[in-house]
């Protein structure tokens, strides 16, 4: 799949390296720029987008209806329902999909377990990967290198049986060193046979020839994961691994900013579909640190951040040092605020306190050149600090940037996303040949449909919908809300920018009138003047706040948090820079009016009754669920936030919300948290509609394919418990329940094959749905692109029916989800994710404001010292480990105790959560 330019890097054969993270984006090609083909790719390398090139749908699609006939005889309940059929509504079109057919010429593969001893003491995964790389270079293993693929740790797949025993010894040295030193660590490596992996069960599965669905899926899982190792073997040898199944290559780079690079790579995953094995391949891009001197990176960061400290920028980046005479790779655990001539520590060897500068001079004879200008780096861990001057560290190649990109860097990333035109997928390679894997260079050609847009109605008239959007000009909201008492607060920050000269400034008076006129013109019953106008004066922030975030974001978060948790009805923040910009003011204020009307309980627009018929057959509640998590840079123990929204009206416009905290980084909602939230939503529905719903359709966002069964095990029973709770007298209430998973983190992309079915950007049109050719063999799933793409490759949402008591048909669900995507209240367009799930995502992001200090903690914050009696805890008051009369707590227990204290502190900062006055509103918009 990947052919490097100029051969392999020195001693880099072996497994992938790196780790998962953020700051990446998937991109498409076909709209200009130089061709992207891995070195030496032939001119016939397949184009991602072929315009009006003649196409023919894959012949295997003709047998799709026969598969449905086979599935109907399978026994199954509401859990994991099989596909009931294929959708029929809409205009038939043909698309290309980035799924490439794969054929297996071997019937059997061989799985082995790799044992490495002794177990590495630290950085186990990296050390093991390097040990395996060195083992492959040995005379014992070299004959089999092109016949094996491994995960870099313990699992190895071979194309043929390997001799037994297969073992050898390795003297460890790092990539870039000439060889092992005299005191090099020695490891023993043994490859032990585990089992045979046969392809016959996979071929039966692809035909739909299964008797027990769960058993069939479990039977093919080991082979699918083995094939993924095989397909990624070449990329793992020459690229950097970043995230699951994604590899990047340093030959293809663009500069994002000082010492930040955008590297091109690809994602690949083997997927069984009906009558064919496929590999899903997607070109992607991610931000990486430029390898080289850490001191250069720190200087560059300081210049563009105006002196801010680089804790979040550099934490968890791998660096190498050589001050001990050999290469040593470590991970930065934190960047200290003190320089080498000021940072001290207790050193027994030199009899007490000593600065980092003095220690390196005495111990290694090194004179630190920038002892007073660069911060000290800690390359130790939570239990043992190891201080090193920054100038002695080198950033390793392939280190991803884990934080959020700034606006300029993200803009550069999007610009560079257009340089891909071709994808160098070509075979053979020695590894694929050895395993008998044959992959086509052509994308699959499959059927799709363009679903019709619903009729959108306002108080007077229905605007024309074109490619998923419409114009708000000269229309009034379907039902305008009332706001007879409103107030204005003008917030000025120290950075300047557009502002007013006091509350009587004519410019302020003029703007308030413009805003009020826009709201009233849209149909909101807004008082002509605010009852009160206040001004804060210029605000200043302390140094730590300046390091954490920009002023506007901090002020906005603080105001929203105060308004949501205190007794204030609604908060609406306007950014003066945009609100006073004559060029975009009309559109900006129109969007603000959309938000305000919905917050106040109004209805911006409705859909025609024919579009809503499937939801109005019986009283129905739509529910959206999402969970947001702390980032890698957050304080350890910071809670995850659970958000649930649910409709309360028959127009499916108002979605009030419930919020809770749960254990850090836990996606699946356990215990009784979800039960209590669903009870709140059902009671809100009953208060508003005077009845309980007869049907509940849940859209669950954020769970991966591997978590589906856990959702059924942990979350499904909580729905049933909620039904019992709201009908405590006789416990007979049970609406029909359907749970649909919404996934945006997939890598499927679809491309128009005819310009008649493409927009001006070359994207497929809004309403494109795919349920044949590249979807699951057994599961009831489909890809829907309800929205119009704005830039780059448009991305559909993958919907999977996880649980269904309503026996919903494919047309009901596909057209219903598409139609509902036009109900999003904050825009005049269809959205990519069905509104209940979209609202749940927005809700969770808003709730992050309430524990913002914990989510954006800095590595040098003292996370241990929280006094249990602190009435208003903050991250900087948390203390290190518990001390007891019996001695120090064990390291693991101490970490767990510290994380628990952080969680408790965040709970106290959260307080009572959303104010009771806002709990039946869409405050979060």
Output the CA–CA distances (angstroms, integers) from residue 297 to 43, 192, 303, in the order listed. 39, 45, 10
Q: At what angle do helices 810-820 and 609-616 cross, to 10 degrees?
A: 120
Lowest mean pLDDT among 167-176, 552-561, 791-800: 552-561
pLDDT by residue (tens digit) across 504-522?
999 999 999 999 999 999 9
d(CA 151, CA 645): 41
Predicted pLDDT at 138: 95
Highest mean pLDDT among 93-97, 491-495, 496-500: 93-97
Given a contact cutoff of 8 angstroms between Cβ atoms, the answer to whether 735 and 232 are in contact is no
- Say what percent of the chain tops pLDDT 70: 85
Q: For 300-347, where are the E strands, in sequence order? A: 318-321, 328-331, 334-339, 344-347
Predicted pLDDT at 838: 98
The SS3 call for residue 166 is: strand
Nearest to 627 by CA among 707, 736, 519: 707
Predicted pLDDT at 649: 94
Count other C-beta atoms under 10 Å from residue 541's C-beta.
Answer: 15
pLDDT by residue (tens digit) across 336-359?
989 999 999 999 999 999 999 999
CA torsion through residues 45, 46, 47, 51, sign: positive
Residue 418: pLDDT band (50, 70, 90) is low
d(CA 272, CA 564): 47
Predicted pLDDT at 240: 81
- Look at residue 13 and tell me whether its pLDDT is greater than 80: no
**Pairing assessment for the beta strands 695-701 and 736-743 based on DSSP bridges:** parallel
Q: For 649-733, where are the E strands, in sequence order? A: 657-662, 695-701
d(CA 795, CA 786): 10
State the burial class of residue 572 (Cβ atoms within 10 Å of its Cβ: 0-12, 13-18, 19+): middle
Q: Read off the pLDDT of each residue in 418-432 and give the average, rounded to a whole number.
A: 59
Given a contact cutoff of 8 angstroms between Cβ atoms, the answer to whether 254 and 267 are in contact is no
Given a contact cutoff of 8 angstroms between Cβ atoms, the answer to whether 295 and 390 are in contact is yes
Predicted pLDDT at 814: 97
d(CA 399, CA 250): 11
Tell which wins on pLDDT, 875 or 540. Answer: 540
Predicted pLDDT at 110: 98
What's the mean pLDDT when you consider all of the chain? 85
Q: pTM of this prediction? A: 0.88
Q: Read off the pLDDT of each residue in 875-904 and give the average, rounded to a whole number.
A: 63
Helix then strand then coil, in percent of the chain rounded to 5, is: 30, 25, 45
Which conformational region is residue 474 in: left (phi greater than 0), alpha (psi within -120 to 50 degrees), or beta?
A: left
Q: Which domains does the chain have, with CATH numbers?
A: 292-396 (2.170.260.10), 480-599 (3.40.50.2300), 606-847 (3.30.420.10), 851-918 (no CATH)
Q: Read off the pLDDT of each residue in 849-875 and give the average, rounded to a whole number.
A: 54
- Look at residue 46 and tell me whether its pLDDT is greater than 90: no
Q: Read off the pLDDT of each residue in 373-390 and give the average, rounded to a whole number.
A: 91
- Look at residue 856 and tell me whether its pLDDT is greater than 80: no
Predicted pLDDT at 9: 35
Tell which wins on pLDDT, 179 or 312. Answer: 179
Output the CA–CA distances (angstroms, integers) from residue 698 to 85, 623, 681, 806, in the order listed. 21, 5, 12, 12
Lowest mean pLDDT among 297-306, 374-383, 669-678, 685-694: 297-306
Predicted pLDDT at 496: 58
- Look at residue 396 and tell me whether its pLDDT is greater than 90: yes
Predicted pLDDT at 494: 58
- Look at residue 212 and tell me whether its pLDDT is greater than 80: yes
- Say what percent of the chain tops pLDDT 90: 62
Q: What is the CA radius of gyration of the chain?
A: 30
Lowest mean pLDDT among 436-445, 534-543, 626-635, 724-733: 534-543
Predicted pLDDT at 501: 84
């Amino acid at each position: 799949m990947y052919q490097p330019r100029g051969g392999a890097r020195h001693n880099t054969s072996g497994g992938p390296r790196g780790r998962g993270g953020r700051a990446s984006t998937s991109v498409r090609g076909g709209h200009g720029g130089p061709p992207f083909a891995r070195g030496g790719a032939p001119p016939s390398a397949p184009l991602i987008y072929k315009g009006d090139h003649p196409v023919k749908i894959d012949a295997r699609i003709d047998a799709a209806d026969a598969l449905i006939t086979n599935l109907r005889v399978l026994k199954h309940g509401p859990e994991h329902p099989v596909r009931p059929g294929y959708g029929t509504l809409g205009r038939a079109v043909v698309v290309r999909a980035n799924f490439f057919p794969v054929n297996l010429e071997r019937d059997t593969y061989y799985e082995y377990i790799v044992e490495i001893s002794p177990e590495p003491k630290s950085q186990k995964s990296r050390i093991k990967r390097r040990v395996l790389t060195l083992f492959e270079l040995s005379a014992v293993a070299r004959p089999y290198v092109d016949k094996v693929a491994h995960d870099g740790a313990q699992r190895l797949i071979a194309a043929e049986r390997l001799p037994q025993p297969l073992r050898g010894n390795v003297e460890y040295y790092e990539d870039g060193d000439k060889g092992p030193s005299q005191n090099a660590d020695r490891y023993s490596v043994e490859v032990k046979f585990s089992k045979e992996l046969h392809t016959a069960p996979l071929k039966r599965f692809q035909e739909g020839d299964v008797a027990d669905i769960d058993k069939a899926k479990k039977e093919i899982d080991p082979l699918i994961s083995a094939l993924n190792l095989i397909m990624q073997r070449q990329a793992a040898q020459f690229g950097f691994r970043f995230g699951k199944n994604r590899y990047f290559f340093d030959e293809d780079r663009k500069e994002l900013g000082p010492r930040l690079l955008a590297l091109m790579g690809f994602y690949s995953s083997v997927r069984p579909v009906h009558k064919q094995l496929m590999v899903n391949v997607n070109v992607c891009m991610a931000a990486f640190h430029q390898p080289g001197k850490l001191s250069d990176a720190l200087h560059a960061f300081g210049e563009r951040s105006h002196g801010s400290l680089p804790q979040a920028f550099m934490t968890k980046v791998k660096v190498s040092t050589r001050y001990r005479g050999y290469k040593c790779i470590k991970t930065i655990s934190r960047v200290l605020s003190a320089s080498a001539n000021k940072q001290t520590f207790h050193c027994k060897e030199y009899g007490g306190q000593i600065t980092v500068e003095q220690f390196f001079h005495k111990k290694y004879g090194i004179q630190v050149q920038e002892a007073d200008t660069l911060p000290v780096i800690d390359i130790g861990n939570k239990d043992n600090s190891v201080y090193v001057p920054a100038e002695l560290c080198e950033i390793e190649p392939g280190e991803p940037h884990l934080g959020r990109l700034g606006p300029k860097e993200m803009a550069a990333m999007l610009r560079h996303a257009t340089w891909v035109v071709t994808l160098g997928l070509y075979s053979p390679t020695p590894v694929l040949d050895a395993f008998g894997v044959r992959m086509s260079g052509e994308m699959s050609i499959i059927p799709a449909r363009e679903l019709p847009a619903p009729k959108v109605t306002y108080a007077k008239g229905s605007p024309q919908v074109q490619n998923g959007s419409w114009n708000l000009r000269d229309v009034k909201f379907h039902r305008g809300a009332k706001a007879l008492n409103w107030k204005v607060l003008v917030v000025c920050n120290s950075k300047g920018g557009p502002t007013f000269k006091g509350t009587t400034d004519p410019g302020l008076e003029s703007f308030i009138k413009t805003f009020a006129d826009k709201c009233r013109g849209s149909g909101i019953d807004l008082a002509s003047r605010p009852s009160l106008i206040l001004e804060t004066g210029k605000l200043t922030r302390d140094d730590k706040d300046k390091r954490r975030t920009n002023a506007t974001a901090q002020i906005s978060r603080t105001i929203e948090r105060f308004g949501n948790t205190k007794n204030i009805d609604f908060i609406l923040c306007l950014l003066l820079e945009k609100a006073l910009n004559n060029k975009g003011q009309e559109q900006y204020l129109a969007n603000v009016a959309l938000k305000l009307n919905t917050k106040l309980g109004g209805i911006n627009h409705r859909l025609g009754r024919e579009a809503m018929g499937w939801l109005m057959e019986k009283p129905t509640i739509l529910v959206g669920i999402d969970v947001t998590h702390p980032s890698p840079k957050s304080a350890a123990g910071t809670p995850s936030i659970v958000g649930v929204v649910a409709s309360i009206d028959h127009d499916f416009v108002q979605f009030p919300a419930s919020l809770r905290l749960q254990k850090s980084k836990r996606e699946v909602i356990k215990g009784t948290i979800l039960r209590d939230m669903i009870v709140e939503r059902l009671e809100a529905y009953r208060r508003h509609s005077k009845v309980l719903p007869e049907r509940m359709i849940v859209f669950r966002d954020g769970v991966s394919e591997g978590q589906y069964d856990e959702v059924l095990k942990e979350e499904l029973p909580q729905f049933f418990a909620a039904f019992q709770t709201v009908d405590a007298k006789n416990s007979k209430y049970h609406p029909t329940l359907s749970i649909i998973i919404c996934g945006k983190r997939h890598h499927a992309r679809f491309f128009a094959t005819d310009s008649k079915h493409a927009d001006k950007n070359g994207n497929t049109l809004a309403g494109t749905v795919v349920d044949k050719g590249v979807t699951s063999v057994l599961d009831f799933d489909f890809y829907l692109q309800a929205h119009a793409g704005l830039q780059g490759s448009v991305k559909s949402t993958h919907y999977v029916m996880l649980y269904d008591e309503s026996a919903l048909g494919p047309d009901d669900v596909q057209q219903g989800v598409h139609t509902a995507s036009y109900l999003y209240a904050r825009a005049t367009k269809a959205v990519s994710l069905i509104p209940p799930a979209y609202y749940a995502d927005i809700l969770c992001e808003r709730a992050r404001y309430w524990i913002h200090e914990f989510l954006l903690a800095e590595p040098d914050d003292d996370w241990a010292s929280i006094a249990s009696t602190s009435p208003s805890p903050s991250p900087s008051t948390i203390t290190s480990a518990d001390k007891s009369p019996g001695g120090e707590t064990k390291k693991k227990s101490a970490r767990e105790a510290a994380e628990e204290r952080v969680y408790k502190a965040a709970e106290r900062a959260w307080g009572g959560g959303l104010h009771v006055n806002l709990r039946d509103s869409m405050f979060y918009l």
